[in-house]
C-alpha cells in the first residue's frame, strides 16, 4: 500500500513538473499576436499605440482563463495598463512612454571602456547598426525580437528589447574572447591586448593593443621589453636578453619560419611590419617539447587570421618609414594578405632618423671615435631598409587548411669617404628571406594532424675599403635552415590529451673573409642535420583547477652521433578564485650561436656572425631552468611573482662580446642566473598603472681563464619599469620610465709600453659598473572614425623625454699619439620625437 501511494505521489509530481516545464518551454510570441488571439476568443477589441507595445513578447495565457484573468496576467508581465472603455473596447497605455529610440552602451567588462564597431542586430529583421567610439548605439522600436550583439573580440551577447525601454541608456558589459588563448590566467597584462596564459607564456595581440610609452605603433620586439625579465642592455631589439641570456639564445619564429634577422636599422626597429595583425607568444620557461634549438626564450609570431575576416586595406607612415597592408578575399575559402614597409631614410632626413643614426652608428667605421660625430653624414651615408610578406590561406572543406607564407627583410648601408685626392666606398647588406608551407587537418573531434615545411636564408655581406691603406676586406655570413615538422594531437578524453611529433632540420653556415693587402682568404662551411622525436601529454582536472603538461624531446645529431633528451614541465594550480601557483621547468639545447671574431668586423655595426657547434671548440649549448610563480588577481589588482634559476653550459668567450683582457682569448664555459620578477598592476577603469621589478644575479664560470668566475656581461642586477596609461574613448595616453643598474665593465689599471704595441693591463673582470640607466618616455594616440569602414589613427611619441645622457657601453683603447688610455662610451638615444598616422578602409 505504501509503495502504491509513493508511486502515485511521485507520478503526480512528475506530471506536474512536466506540465510546468512544458508551460515554461512554450515559446514567447509578440504581445500584438497575443492580443489578437484574445480578441477572437472573447470578442473584444484593443486600442493602442504601436510603439508602446511592440517591444513586448510573452507566453500566451491559458485559454481556460476568463478575460479579466488574462488581462491581469498581461498587465503583470508587461506593466502595461488596460483601461475598460466598454464591454467590448479596451485601451492599452504605457506609463513609461518614451519619445526616443532604443539606446544603450556596450562596455568592455574588463577595462570598463566603450566597445567600438560592435554589430547590433534585431533578430529576424533587416535592422542593424554599429556601436560608436563610446560603445553607444541606437535602434528603432520595430520588434520584440531579441537583440544580438556580435564583435570579433568579445563573446556574443543578447539583449531583451524591453531592457532598452528606459529613460537612461543602460550599460551592457561584454566579456573579451579568451577561450582561444588556452586558459588565460590574466586578461589584462601591462596594457590591453597583452595576456598571460596558464602555461606561463605571454600573449600579445596588437589588434586589441592599447598603448605603451615611447611607441607610436605596436612594435613587436619593443613591446617584449616591457615584460619582466626581458631587457635590452643597449636599447636594440637585436640584443634582447631574457633572464640573462644573449639574443641568439632566443628562438624567433614567424609563421613557422626561423628568423635570424629580427631588426631594422641594425636593431633599433623591429623587422616585423606592425600593420600585420600579429599574435605573439613569448615563453621564458617551460616551452612546449615541439620547439627546440634555443636555450633561452621562445618567441612565436603568427600573422594568420581567420579566413572569414573581411577584406581591408591599411596604409601608414611615421618619420622613418611608410607601410601598407592589404587583405583580399579570393573566394569564401581563400584569402591572400600582402604587406610591405620601406624607409625613406635615403632621401629624407627627419629629426627622428638623425637621432636613430647617431645612436646606432656610434663608435663604428662611419664615426670619428675622437669626437663621436658622424662625418659629413648627408653626403657620405646612404641607408635604407624594407620588409615585405605575402600569405595565402586556403580552407579545403571543413577539416583542412593550407597556409603559404613568404617574408623578406633587408637593411642596406653605403658609406663613402673622401679626401682631396682619393675616395673609398664601403657597403653592408643584411637580408633574411624565408617561407613556409603548412597543412592542417582535423580528422575528427579527437584527432588532428599538422605538417609544416619551412626554409630560412640569412645573408650578411660587407665590403670595407680603407682610404689610408687601400685595403679591402670582404666578409660574408650565410645561414640556410631547412625544416620539416610533423605533429599529431589526440584527445583521449576531456581531461587528457596526447601529442606526438617528428622534426628534421638541416642547417648550413658559411663564413667567408678575404683581404687584398696582404692577400688572405678563408671560407668555412659547416652543415648539421638533426632529428627530433617528440611526445607531450596534458592533464586537466574536472574543475580545471589543476593543469599539468609533460613533454619530452629527444634530439639526435648525425654529425656527432649524440643523443640529447629534453624534458619539459608546465604545472598550474588554481588555489583559490584569486590565487594561482605555477611551476615550470625545462632542459633545452642549441647548436647555432652568434660569435664576434673582431669588434670592427662588418664595419663594426653588425659584428656578430652565426656559427654552428663543432662539439669541440664550440660545444652544443645546454640549458636547464626551473621557476615557481604566484599570481594574485582581485578587485582589478594583479600581482605576479616569479622566481627562477637557470644554467647555461657550453658558451664561448666569442659569443659574449668581451672588450677586455678576454677579447682575443678562445675558451668555453657556463653561466648561472638566479632571479625574481615582480609585477604589480592596478586597473581603475579608463586609467591603469603598473610597475615591475626584476632582480638578476648572473655569473660566469670559465675554468680555463684566470679569475674565471665573475659577473656576466649581461647582468643587470636591478630593473624597474613603471607606466601609467589612460584610455578614454579613442584617446590613449601613456607615460612611463625605465631604470636599471649599470652593466658590468672591466677598467684598466695601467698601460705597458713595449717596442711592439702598447698593452692595457686590466683590473679583475667586470669588477666595476656603468652608471645607472634612467629614461622617461611618452606616447599619445587618437583614432578618428569617419564611417564604419574608414578610420584614421594618429600617434605621437617621445623617447627620452628628459634627454638623459646614459652610457650603455664603455671600452678602453690606447691613444697612440701620447701613449695613454682613453675610454670610448656608447650613449643611449637622445630626446627623440616621432609621429605616425594610419588609414584603414
Looking at mean pLDDT, say which of 179-183, 362-366, 513-517 comes out highest.
513-517
pLDDT category at 532 given cuts 50, 70, 90 is: very high
The model's confidence at residue 367, banded by pLDDT at 50, 70 and 90, is low
Backbone angles phi, psi at 597, to 5 degrees: -75, -55
Predicted confidence band of residue 177 (pLDDT cuts 50, 70, 90): low
What pLDDT is stored for residue 9 in this prediction? 46
Q: Band of the pLDDT at 386, cuts 50, 70, 90?
A: very high
What integer is the mean pLDDT of 669-683?
93
% of the chain beyond a pLDDT of 70? 89
DSSP string across 689-713? EEEEEEEEEEEEE-TTSTT-EEE-T
| Tens-place pLDDT, residues 25-80 | 456 677 777 888 888 888 888 877 766 677 677 787 888 888 888 888 887 777 77
The arithmetic mean of pLDDT across residues 98-122, rounded, is 80
pLDDT beyond 60 at 375:
no
For 201-233, what is each residue's pLDDT tens digit? 888 775 555 678 888 887 878 888 888 999 998
For the 202-840 domain, the top CATH level (class) is mainly beta
What pLDDT sits at residue 95? Answer: 65
Model confidence at 14, pLDDT cuts 50, 70, 90, reads very low
401 touches 442 (CB < 8 A)? no
Instruction: For residue 762, name the pLDDT band (cuts at 50, 70, 90).
Output: very high
Count Cα neighbours of 340 within 13 Å in the Cβ-side half-sphere: 2
Contact 505, 536 (CB under 8 A): no
State whether residue 249 is helix, strand or coil. helix
pLDDT > 50? residue 557: yes
C-alpha cell at 295: 636555450
What pLDDT is stored for residue 89 in this prediction? 82
Q: What is the pLDDT of residue 537?
A: 95
Give the model's pLDDT for residue 11.
40
C-alpha cell of residue 577: 578564485
| Residue 369 pLDDT > 50 | no
pTM for this one? 0.79
Task: Give the contacts of 384 (CB within 8 A, at least 6 positions apart).
Answer: 342, 343, 344, 345, 346, 412
CA separation for the pair 125, 763 (Å, rounded): 81
Strands (E), 13-170: 29-30, 45-47, 57-58, 81-84, 89-93, 102-108, 119-122, 128-130, 136-139, 147-151, 154-159
- CATH 3.55.50.30 domain residues, the chain: 22-93
Distances (CA, A) of 220 to 12, 163, 781: 66, 42, 18
Q: Is the pLDDT of residue 840 over 80?
A: yes
State pLDDT tens for residues 679-697.
998 888 778 888 999 999 9
Q: Is the pLDDT of residue 181 over 60?
A: no
Q: Where in the chain is the domain with CATH 2.40.170.20?
A: 202-840
* 714-755 tens-digit pLDDT: 999 999 999 998 888 788 899 999 999 999 999 999 888 776
Where along the chain do the CATH 2.60.40.1120 domains lie? 102-174
Query: CATH topology for 102-174?
Result: Immunoglobulin-like (2.60.40)
Q: State the Cα–Cα distance between residues 264 and 262, nearest whole angstrom.
A: 7
The DSSP-derived string for 747-760 is -EEEEE--SS--EE
Backbone angles phi, psi at 372, to 5 degrees: 55, 30
* Domain covering 22-93, topology: Phage tail protein beta-alpha-beta fold (3.55.50)
- pLDDT at residue 98, as a whole number: 61
Q: What is the pLDDT of residue 109?
A: 78
- Tens-place pLDDT, residues 783-823: 888 876 788 999 999 999 999 999 999 999 888 777 888 88
Query: Residue 4 has what pLDDT?
Result: 46
* The residue count for the chain: 841
More confident residue, 143 or 18: 143
Distance between CA atoms of residues 598 and 659, nearest Å: 10
Among the ranges given (65-79, 175-189, 406-420, 549-563), the one the predictor scored with the smallest mean pLDDT: 175-189
The pLDDT value given to residue 82? 82
What is residue 802's three-state secondary structure?
A: coil
Q: Residues 86-102: what's their mean pLDDT?
A: 74
Which of the residue ranges 5-19, 170-184, 681-695 would you say has the lowest mean pLDDT? 5-19
Task: Give which of 690, 774, 801, 834 is closest to 274, Cα–Cα.
Answer: 834
pLDDT of residue 193: 64
In this prediction, residue 223 carries a pLDDT of: 82
Q: How far apart are CA 186 and CA 632, in angstroms?
A: 9
pLDDT at 148 > cutoff 70: yes
Burial class (CB in 10 A: 0-12, 13-18, 19+), 30: middle
How much of the chain exceeds pLDDT 90, in percent? 46
For residue range 763-783, list pLDDT tens digits in order: 999 999 999 999 999 999 998
pLDDT of residue 21: 39
CA distances to 269, 406, 618 from 352, in Å: 12, 30, 40
Note whether 683 and 188 are within 8 A (CB): yes
Q: What is the pLDDT of residues 417-434, one digit of tens each?
A: 776 667 778 899 999 999
pLDDT of residue 255: 93
Which of 131-140, 338-347, 655-664 comes out lowest in average pLDDT?
Answer: 131-140
Instruction: From 285, 292, 275, select the one nearest 341 (Cα to Cα).
Output: 275
Region 579-583 average pLDDT = 92
Residues 434-462, mean pLDDT to the nearest whole number? 94
Average pLDDT, the chain: 85
Residue 72 backbone phi and psi in degrees, to 5: -65, -40
pLDDT band at residue 698, thresholds of 50, 70 and 90? very high
Highest mean pLDDT among 154-168, 261-275, 399-413, 674-688: 399-413
Amino acid at each position: 500500500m505504501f509503495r502504491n501511494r509513493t508511486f502515485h505521489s511521485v507520478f503526480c509530481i512528475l506530471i506536474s513538473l512536466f506540465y510546468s516545464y512544458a508551460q515554461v518551454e512554450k515559446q514567447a510570441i509578440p504581445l500584438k499576436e497575443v492580443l489578437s488571439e484574445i480578441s477572437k476568443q472573447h470578442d473584444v477589441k484593443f486600442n493602442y499605440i504601436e510603439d508602446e507595445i511592440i517591444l513586448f513578447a510573452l507566453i500566451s495565457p491559458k485559454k481556460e482563463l476568463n478575460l479579466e484573468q488574462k488581462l491581469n496576467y498581461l498587465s503583470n508581465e508587461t506593466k502595461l495598463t488596460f483601461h475598460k472603455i466598454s464591454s467590448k473596447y479596451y485601451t492599452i497605455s504605457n506609463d513609461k512612454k518614451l519619445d526616443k529610440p532604443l539606446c544603450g552602451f556596450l562596455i568592455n567588462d574588463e577595462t570598463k571602456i566603450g566597445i567600438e564597431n560592435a554589430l547590433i542586430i534585431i533578430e529576424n529583421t533587416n535592422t542593424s547598426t554599429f556601436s560608436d567610439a563610446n560603445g553607444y548605439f541606437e535602434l528603432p522600436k520595430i520588434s520584440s525580437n531579441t537583440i544580438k550583439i556580435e564583435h570579433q573580440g568579445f563573446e556574443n551577447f543578447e539583449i531583451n528589447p524591453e531592457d532598452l525601454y528606459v529613460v537612461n541608456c543602460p550599460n551592457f558589459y561584454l566579456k573579451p574572447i579568451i577561450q582561444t588563448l588556452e586558459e588565460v590566467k590574466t586578461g589584462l597584462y601591462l596594457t590591453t591586448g597583452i595576456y598571460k596564459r596558464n602555461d606561463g607564456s605571454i600573449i600579445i595581440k596588437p589588434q586589441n593593443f592599447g598603448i605603451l610609452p615611447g611607441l607610436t605603433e605596436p612594435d613587436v620586439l619593443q613591446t617584449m621589453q616591457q615584460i619582466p625579465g626581458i631587457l635590452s642592455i643597449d636599447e636594440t631589439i637585436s640584443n634582447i636578453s631574457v633572464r640573462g641570456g644573449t639574443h641568439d639564445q632566443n628562438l624567433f619564429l614567424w609563421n613557422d619560419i626561423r628568423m635570424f634577422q629580427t631588426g631594422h636599422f641594425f636593431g633599433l626597429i623591429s623587422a616585423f611590419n606592425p600593420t600585420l595583425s600579429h599574435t605573439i607568444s613569448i615563453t621564458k620557461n617551460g616551452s612546449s617539447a615541439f620547439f627546440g634549438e634555443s636555450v633561452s626564450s621562445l618567441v612565436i609570431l603568427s600573422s594568420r587570421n581567420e579566413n572569414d575576416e573581411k577584406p581591408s586595406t591599411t596604409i601608414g607612415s611615421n618619420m622613418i618609414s611608410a607601410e601598407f597592408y592589404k587583405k583580399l578575399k579570393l573566394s569564401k575559402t581563400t584569402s591572400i594578405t600582402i604587406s610591405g614597409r620601406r624607409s625613406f631614410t635615403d632621401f629624407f632626413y627627419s629629426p627622428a632618423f638623425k637621432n636613430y643614426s647617431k645612436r646606432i652608428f656610434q663608435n663604428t667605421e662611419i664615426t670619428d671615435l675622437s669626437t663621436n660625430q658622424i662625418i659629413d653624414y648627408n653626403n657620405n651615408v646612404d641607408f635604407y631598409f624594407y620588409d615585405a610578406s605575402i600569405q595565402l590561406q586556403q580552407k579545403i572543406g571543413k577539416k583542412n587548411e593550407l597556409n603559404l607564407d613568404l617574408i623578406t627583410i633587408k637593411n642596406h648601408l653605403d658609406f663613402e669617404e673622401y679626401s682631396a685626392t682619393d675616395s673609398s666606398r664601403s657597403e653592408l647588406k643584411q637580408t633574411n628571406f624565408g617561407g613556409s608551407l603548412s597543412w592542417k587537418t582535423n580528422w575528427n573531434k579527437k584527432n588532428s594532424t599538422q605538417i609544416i615545411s619551412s626554409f630560412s636564408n640569412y645573408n650578411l655581406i660587407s665590403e670595407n675599403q680603407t682610404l689610408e691603406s687601400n685595403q679591402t676586406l670582404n666578409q660574408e655570413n650565410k645561414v640556410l635552415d631547412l625544416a620539416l615538422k610533423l605533429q599529431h594531437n589526440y584527445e583521449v578524453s576531456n581531461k587528457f590529451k596526447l601529442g606526438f611529433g617528428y622534426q628534421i632540420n638541416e642547417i648550413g653556415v658559411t663564413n667567408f673573409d678575404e683581404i687584398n693587402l696582404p692577400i688572405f682568404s678563408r671560407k668555412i662551411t659547416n652543415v648539421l642535420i638533426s632529428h627530433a622525436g617528440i611526445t607531450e601529454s596534458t592533464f586537466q582536472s574536472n574543475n580545471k583547477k589543476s593543469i599539468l603538461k609533460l613533454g619530452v624531446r629527444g634530439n639526435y645529431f648525425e654529425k656527432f652521433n649524440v643523443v640529447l633528451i629534453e624534458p619539459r614541465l608546465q604545472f598550474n594550480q588554481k588555489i583559490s578564485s584569486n590565487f594561482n601557483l605555477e611551476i615550470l621547468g625545462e632542459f633545452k639545447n642549441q647548436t647555432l650561436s652568434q660569435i664576434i671574431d673582431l669588434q670592427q668586423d662588418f664595419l663594426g655595426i653588425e659584428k656578430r656572425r652565426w656559427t654552428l657547434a663543432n662539439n669541440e671548440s664550440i660545444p652544443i649549448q645546454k640549458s636547464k631552468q626551473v621557476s615557481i610563480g604566484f599570481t594574485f588577481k582581485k578587485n582589478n589588482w594583479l600581482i605576479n611573482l616569479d622566481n627562477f634559476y637557470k644554467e647555461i653550459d657550453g658558451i664561448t668567450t666569442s659569443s659574449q662580446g668581451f672588450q677586455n683582457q678576454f677579447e682575443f682569448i678562445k675558451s668555453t664555459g657556463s653561466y648561472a642566473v638566479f632571479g625574481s620578477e615582480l609585477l604589480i598592476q592596478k586597473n581603475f577603469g579608463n586609467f591603469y598603472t603598473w610597475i615591475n621589478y626584476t632582480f638578476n644575479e648572473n655569473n660566469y664560470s670559465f675554468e680555463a681563464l684566470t679569475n674565471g668566475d665573475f659577473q656576466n656581461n649581461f647582468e643587470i642586477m636591478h630593473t624597474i619599469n613603471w607606466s601609467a596609461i589612460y584610455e578614454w574613448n579613442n584617446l590613449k595616453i601613456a607615460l612611463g620610465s625605465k631604470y636599471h643598474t649599470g652593466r658590468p665593465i672591466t677598467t684598466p689599471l695601467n698601460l705597458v709600453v713595449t717596442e711592439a704595441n702598447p698593452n692595457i693591463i686590466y683590473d679583475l673582470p667586470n669588477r666595476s659598473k656603468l652608471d645607472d640607466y634612467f629614461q622617461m618616455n611618452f606616447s599619445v594616440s587618437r583614432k578618428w572614425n569617419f564611417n564604419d569602414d574608414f578610420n584614421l589613427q594618429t600617434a605621437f611619441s617621445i623617447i627620452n623625454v628628459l634627454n638623459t645622457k646614459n652610457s650603455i657601453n664603455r671600452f678602453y683603447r690606447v691613444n697612440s699619439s701620447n701613449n695613454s688610455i682613453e675610454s670610448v662610451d656608447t650613449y643611449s638615444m637622445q630626446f627623440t620625437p616621432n609621429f605616425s598616422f594610419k588609414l584603414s578602409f
